[in-house]
C-alpha cells in the first residue's frame, strides 16, 4: 500500500503566532519539498492570524478523523490516494505521482 503525503492550509480564527519569521513578515516555503520530507503524522509549519499551514504523512489505512472548520480549507495531496469528505460529500483523491 502507498502512504499518503498531504499539505493542508486551514483558514481559521486563532491567535497570531508566526512560528518562524516574526510578526507580519509572511511565510515562504517550498510546500512540496516540506511535505515530501515530512514523516510526522501532523506538523504545523506556520500559524498566522487567519491561517495555519500543516503538513501530514499518513500510513496506509490511517485516518485523520473528523475536523470541522467554519472557514475555508485547502488540501493538497503530494502522493498517495485517499478520500476527503467535505460538506457530507465523499471525494476520492489520487495523486498523479501514484
Q: Is the dihedral of CA 76, 79, 85, 90 positive or negative?
A: positive
Q: Poorest-confidence range of 17-26, 57-66, 73-82, 85-94?
A: 17-26
Higher pLDDT, 74 or 10: 74
Assigned C-alpha cell, 27:
511565510
What pLDDT is recorded for position 14?
44
| pLDDT at residue 21, as a whole number | 53
Fill in the DSSP letter of residue 68. -
Render 70-81 in DSSP notation, one character per residue: SS-EEEEEEESE
Cross-strand pairs, 84: 91
Domain segments of the chain: what residues? 4-94
Q: What is the DSSP string of 36-59?
A: HH--SSEEEEEE-SS-EEEEEEE-
Amino acid at each position: 500500500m502507498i502512504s499518503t503525503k498531504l499539505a493542508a492550509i486551514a483558514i481559521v480564527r486563532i491567535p497570531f503566532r508566526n512560528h518562524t519569521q516574526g510578526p507580519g513578515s509572511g511565510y515562504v516555503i517550498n510546500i512540496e519539498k516540506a511535505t515530501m520530507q515530512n514523516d510526522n503524522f501532523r506538523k504545523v509549519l506556520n500559524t498566522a492570524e487567519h491561517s495555519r499551514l500543516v503538513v501530514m504523512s499518513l500510513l496506509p489505512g490511517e485516518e485523520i478523523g473528523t475536523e470541522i472548520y467554519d472557514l475555508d480549507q485547502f488540501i493538497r495531496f503530494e502522493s498517495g490516494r485517499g478520500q476527503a469528505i467535505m460538506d457530507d460529500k465523499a471525494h476520492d483523491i489520487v495523486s498523479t505521482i501514484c
